[in-house]
Amino acid sequence: MGKGCLTVCKYFLFLFNIIFFLFGTALVGFGLWLLLDNQSFIVVLNDSTHVKLACYVLIAVGAFSMLLGFFGCLGAIYEVRCLLGLYFTCLLLILLAQIAAGVFIYVQKTTLDDGMWEITRKVMDNYPGNSSSVEQAWDFIQKNMQCCGWRGSEDWFTNGVIRSSEQQLFPCSCQNLTLASRNASDSGFCEASADNWPVYQVGCAASVKNWFLTNIGVVLGICIGVAFIELLGMILSICLCKHIGSEDYTQVPKYQ
């Protein structure tokens, strides 16, 4: 490899690691938002230890990506073989971990669906209609995704308020406007004029699945893009590491 190509490779790797560092920063910020935010749909899942663990893992992965990007920049600019080799190894491990995570999610999708059902069932059973942050998040999901319950509107039949009430109550955020006139509230409980609730019959699980299938091209594009960037970083680092001569180590600044 010529000196000019080596220089181009070095600075491309440096630029790549700047992007990788910013990506890690974004992951840390996203993980903290999921963990601390109390205004979005994620509030519904925050009672799950699995979800909290996932947030901590996301923060840890982001912090590791920031550290990896930092060392990658040092290895590229100062042409330090040990840092470049460590950088290549870490990228390889990250890529393998992502593949393993994708396979695990696909194999365990039934278990994950059952876990989501348990989380949402507890939310619906204990839903008192007092506009807490968890209830607002669940109302937001049902209203905007036009669904009711996780697997269907019958999920609400075990709610304590609905079971104990002498009136025909149903969750206002489930209301299907094509079946009844709009109620004054989008949260809490509304009274039905007949035995049949004027609500959406499709469960939110099906709505989420339909949304995912509709946007699967975008999801796959992001996954392939991330994998391509990681492979590019691995190729650049191994090429640079391979063509660094031992005499170049004399150019590495020495700090006292």
CB 96 within 8 A of CB 103: no
What is the token pair recorded at 195? 């035995």
> How far apart are the C-alpha atoms of 206 and 151, rounded to whole Å?
7
Kindly state whether residue 90 falls inside one of the protein's structural domains.
yes
Kindly state whether residue 18 falls inside one of the protein's structural domains.
yes
Kindly report, residue by residue over 108-167, the tens digit of the pLDDT. 777 777 777 887 888 888 887 666 667 777 888 888 888 999 889 899 988 988 888 888
Q: What are phi and psi of 191, to 5 degrees?
A: -95, 130
CA angle 244, 249, 250 (to 5 degrees): 135
* pLDDT < 50 positions in the chain: 246-256
By residue range, what is the domain housing residue 46? 3-243
Kindly state whether residue 250 falls inside one of the protein's structural domains.
no
Which pLDDT score, from 0 to 100, does residue 256 have?
43
Task: Count other C-beta atoms under 10 Å from residue 224's C-beta.
Answer: 10
Instruction: Give the HSE-up count for residue 134: Cα atoms under 13 Å, Cβ half-sphere.
Output: 16
Written as one string, the DSSP assignment of 28-76 is HHHHHHHHH--SSGGGGGTT-HHHHHHHHHHHHHHHHHHHHHHHHHHHH
CB 61 within 8 A of CB 126: no
Q: Which residues does residue 189 pair with via DSSP β-bridges, in sequence order?
A: 171
Q: List the alpha helices (DSSP H) in 79-171.
A: 81-107, 109-125, 133-145, 160-164
Q: How many domains does the chain have?
A: 1
* pTM: predicted TM-score of the whole model, two decimal places: 0.58
Kindly state whether residue 140 falls inside one of the protein's structural domains.
yes
Kindly state whether residue 253 falls inside one of the protein's structural domains.
no
> How far apart are the C-alpha atoms of 130 and 161, rounded to whole Å?
11
Which pLDDT score, from 0 to 100, does residue 46 have?
53
> How far apart are the C-alpha atoms of 112 and 124, rounded to whole Å?
19
Kindly state whether residue 81 falls inside one of the protein's structural domains.
yes
Kindly state whether residue 254 falls inside one of the protein's structural domains.
no
Which pLDDT score, from 0 to 100, does residue 247 have?
40
Which pLDDT score, from 0 to 100, does residue 148 have?
92
